[in-house]
Amino acid sequence: RTNKMKIYNIDNLREFIGNNIEKIKEIKITSVKDVDYHPMVGFTYLANVKLTLNSGRYKMYKAMFNSTYLEDEHETARDYVKDYLINL
């Protein structure tokens, strides 16, 4: 039996967080990795996000996005994810 985690589009994960923000105590970006490169969309990144709930339990999510989301050339992928998901 494999335990594969579903991968979300970053916009969908942001919407999920926004809709459940009252249940979430902390949002932490545990890692961001570049997983692919395509000439049309640039780098593809995979972010691991930990949501700690008010109950003390936590859930891990994976979010996919590409470098076209980055605001400027100096913004790192980690900075983008942190700003986009934590600073709602």
Looking at residue 7, its pLDDT comes to: 92
Tell me which residues of the chain have a pLDDT lower than 50.
none
Looking at residue 3, its pLDDT comes to: 60
Helix ranges (H only) for the chain are 10-19, 77-86
Looking at residue 73, its pLDDT comes to: 64
Pairing of strands 58-66, 42-53: antiparallel
Looking at residue 70, its pLDDT comes to: 82
Q: Write the burial class of residue 24 (CB in 10 Å: 0-12 exposed, 13-18 middle, 19+ buried).
A: middle
pLDDT in tens, 5-18: 789 999 999 999 99
Q: Write the burial class of residue 16 (CB in 10 Å: 0-12 exposed, 13-18 middle, 19+ buried).
A: middle
Question: How far, in Å, CA of 10 to CA of 88, rounded?
Answer: 13
pTM over 0.75: yes
